[in-house]
A and B are shown apart, each in its own frame.
Chain A
Amino acid sequence: GAVVSQHPSWVICKSGTSVKIECRSLDFQATTMFWYRQFPKQSLMLMATSNEGSKATYEQGVEKDKFLINHASLTLSTLTVTSAHPEDSSFYICSARKIRPDDIETQYFGPGTRLLVL
């Protein structure tokens, strides 16, 4: 299967600072990547869809000015949490879409980044 990496795997920061999370598809090109957030004991919630070379599409209720997404290349998308607050503490997961030859979509997920804002 394909490999998606995330960096950092965990981060602790002070309230008011900005944090950047990188998502890389290591062995395939991904025109579309996705960012999710997961709170304890809950399912994944899609935050935004990141398309290479264009603006991200944000889900309802997700502040685009707070969660900045950049998809500058076919293998890299970044999520920046600006002016982080304790309520932004969560598990952030990215995925990269790969289309099989039979036109079926598979998503390959990164290992996640645990953010703790003090």
Chain B
Amino acid sequence: DAKTTQPNSMESNEEEPVHLPCNHSTISGTDYIHWYRQLPSQGPEYVIHGLTSNVNNRMASLAIAEDRKSSTLILHRATLRDAAVYYCILRYPFYRDNYGQNFVFGPGTRLSVLP
């Protein structure tokens, strides 16, 4: 799986939008971009994933650059409960995986939300 780089930490004010960047310049054509987040003292949870087109769900939006070398997770209105570590992970589709390999978690971005 290709590598991703994210800022170590970011800060946001409550009720404001947050843009969390992720660089993945070595992404391959079939790599999907996944975002997970980990709240304090909990296991990670799935946020969103995408391939080429921008994606929206109830939790967040994912904006993918046209060249796919970067992406941005957008939280439209940050709440205190969004304070977490956000992980950007690249993963190829399952049909390419014959060995049960796994997501690789980097250090992620620690998001602080200020009241």
Contact = CB atoms under 8 A, between A and B. Distances in A.
B107 interface: yes
Given A110-B43, A112-B41, A105 B105 contact: no
A103 B60 CA distance: 22
B102 interface: yes
Contact of A46 (B93, B102, B108): B102
B42 interface: yes
Interface string B34-49: 0010100111111001
Given A99-B94, A109-B44, A104 B100 contact: no
A108 interface: yes
Interface in B1-52: 32, 36, 38, 41-46, 49
Interface in B72-114: 85, 87, 91, 93-95, 97, 100-108
A81 B69 CA distance: 41
B100 A51 contact: yes
Contacts of A112: 41-43
A25 interface: no
A93 B100 contact: no
A103 B108 contact: no
A2 B95 CA distance: 21
Given A34-B102, A49-B102, A99-B94, A104 B44 contact: no
A15 to B, nearest CB: 24
B46 A108 contact: yes
Interface of B: 32, 36, 38, 41-46, 49, 85, 87, 91, 93-95, 97, 100-108
Interface of A: 1, 4, 6, 32, 34, 36, 42-46, 49, 51, 57, 91, 93-95, 97, 99, 103-112, 114
5 A-B pairs with the lowest CB-CB distances in the bound complex, closest first:
A109-B43, A44-B105, A93-B43, A43-B105, A103-B93
